[in-house]
C-alpha cells in the first residue's frame, strides 16, 4: 500500500498532473491560468501558466526530451503544446481526444475515446499513424505504448458490460493480454478504469475511477495488489496518474463530485510513496 507523502492545495477540479524539468504541472479547470507549476521538492507554487483558446481539457502529459507538456482539448478537438517558457501552440486531432501519453520515440499518443482510435503525432503535430482498436475495446480512456511497441489501454464507461485493461498488439488489431471483465468492486474487477501509469519495469498502475482506488498489475496484466485505497482518496475518485520513477512517487489527481449540482466542484493531487 502506498504511503501518503503530501497533498497539493485544494482548488478547481483537476484534469491532469505531470512532471517536467523538476517541477509539477497541475492542470485546473479554469478560464485562465489553467496550469499551476510547483517545485517537486518543496511543493511550493512557482507560477501559473495560461493556455490560450482552451475550452475543455481531458488529460495532460509531458516530454523531457522536447521540454514541453501536451494537453488534450475535447471541445476544440486539438492538442495544446506548452513549453517550459510558457509558449503555447496547438494542432488538430480531428476527433475528440481524451488520454495523451508520450512513447519511447518522444511522439504523442492520443486516445480518441468515442471513435475507438489511437493516433500518434510528432511533437509539433504531424500525424504519423492512426490505429483502429479491436471492436470490443469500447470507449477507451487512455493508452500507453510499451518499449516493445504494444499498447496498454483502459476502457469501460457506466453501464458497459466490460471494464478492463488490455494489452494490444503494435498494429492495434489484436488483444494480447487483458485484466478485468464484468464491472464490479472485487479483486480483479474495475468500474471505469480511467488512467494509467507505467514504471521502468512496465508494471501498470490503474486509476479505477468508480471504485476510488489505484491498482497495480504486472507487465503481463496480472493482479499484484492495491496501491491506493478508497480511504486514502476520501476527497474524490482518481481521474489522472503520474509516476515519478526516480523518486517512486505516484501523483494521484482526484475530484470531488457534487450529486445535487451534477458536477465536479473541487479537486486536488495527492503524492504517494510506492
Counting residues of the chain whose pLDDT is more than 90, the rounded percentage is 86
pTM over 0.75: yes
Residue 27 has what pLDDT? 95
CB 109, CB 120: distance < 8 Å: yes
For 214-255, write each residue's pLDDT tens digit.
999 999 999 999 999 999 998 889 999 999 999 999 999 999
Residue 257 has what pLDDT? 76
CB 13, CB 267: distance < 8 Å: yes
CA atoms of 48 and 38, how far apart (whole Å): 9
Task: Examine the pLDDT at 146 and tell me if it is beyond 90.
Answer: yes
CA atoms of 184 and 28, how far apart (whole Å): 30
Average of per-residue pLDDT across 19-36? 91
Average of per-residue pLDDT across 26-55? 90
Task: Examine the pLDDT at 147 and tell me if it is beyond 80.
Answer: yes
Contacts of 137 (CB under 8 A, 6+ apart): 116, 153, 155, 166, 168, 175
User: For the domain that residue 250 is a member of, what is the CATH number?
Assistant: 2.120.10.30
At 233, give phi and psi (nearest 5°): -125, 50
At 231, give phi and psi (nearest 5°): -65, -30
Distances in whole angstroms, Cα of residue 8 to Cα of each of 19, 158, 271: 14, 29, 8
CB 258, CB 264: distance < 8 Å: yes
Task: Examine the pLDDT at 261 and tell me if it is beyond 90.
Answer: no
Average of per-residue pLDDT across 181-192? 94
Residue 165 has what pLDDT? 97
Residue 124 has what pLDDT? 95
Confidence of residue 266 (pLDDT cuts 50, 70, 90): confident
Range of 207's domain? 3-273
Report how many domains make up the chain: 1
Confidence of residue 56 (pLDDT cuts 50, 70, 90): confident
For 63-74, write each residue's pLDDT tens digit.
999 999 999 999
Residue 104 has what pLDDT? 96
Task: Examine the pLDDT at 54 and tell me if it is beyond 80.
Answer: no
Amino acid at each position: 500500500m502506498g504511503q501518503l507523502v503530501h497533498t497539493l492545495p485544494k482548488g478547481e477540479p483537476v484534469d491532469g498532473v505531470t512532471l517536467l524539468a523538476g517541477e509539477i504541472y497541475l492542470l485546473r479547470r479554469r478560464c485562465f491560468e489553467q496550469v499551476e507549476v510547483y517545485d517537486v521538492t518543496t511543493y511550493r507554487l512557482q507560477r501559473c501558466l495560461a493556455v490560450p483558446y482552451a475550452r475543455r481539457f481531458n488529460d495532460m502529459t509531458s516530454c523531457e526530451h522536447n521540454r514541453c507538456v501536451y494537453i488534450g482539448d475535447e471541445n476544440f478537438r486539438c492538442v495544446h503544446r506548452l513549453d517550459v517558457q510558457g509558449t503555447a501552440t496547438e494542432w488538430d486531432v480531428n476527433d475528440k481526444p481524451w488520454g495523451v501519453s508520450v512513447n519511447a520515440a518522444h511522439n504523442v499518443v492520443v486516445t480518441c475515446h468515442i471513435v475507438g482510435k489511437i493516433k500518434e503525432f510528432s511533437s509539433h503535430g504531424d500525424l504519423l499513424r492512426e490505429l483502429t482498436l479491436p471492436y470490443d475495446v469500447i470507449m477507451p480512456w487512455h493508452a500507453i505504448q510499451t518499449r516493445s511497441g504494444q499498447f496498454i489501454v483502459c476502457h469501460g464507461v457506466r453501464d458497459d458490460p466490460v471494464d478492463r485493461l488490455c494489452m494490444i498488439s503494435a498494429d492495434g488489431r489484436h488483444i494480447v493480454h487483458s485484466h478485468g471483465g464484468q464491472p464490479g468492486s472485487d479483486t480483479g474487477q474495475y468500474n471505469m478504469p480511467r488512467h494509467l501509469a507505467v514504471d521502468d519495469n512496465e508494471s501498470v498502475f490503474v486509476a479505477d475511477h468508480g471504485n476510488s482506488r489505484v491498482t497495480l498489475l504486472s507487465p503481463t496484466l496480472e493482479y499484484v495488489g492495491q496501491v491506493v485505497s478508497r480511504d486514502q482518496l476520501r476527497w474524490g475518485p482518481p481521474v489522472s496518474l503520474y509516476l515519478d520513477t526516480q523518486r517512486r512517487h505516484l501523483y494521484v489527481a482526484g475530484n470531488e463530485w457534487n450529486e445535487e449540482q451534477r458536477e465536479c466542484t473541487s479537486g486536488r493531487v495527492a503524492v504517494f510513496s510506492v
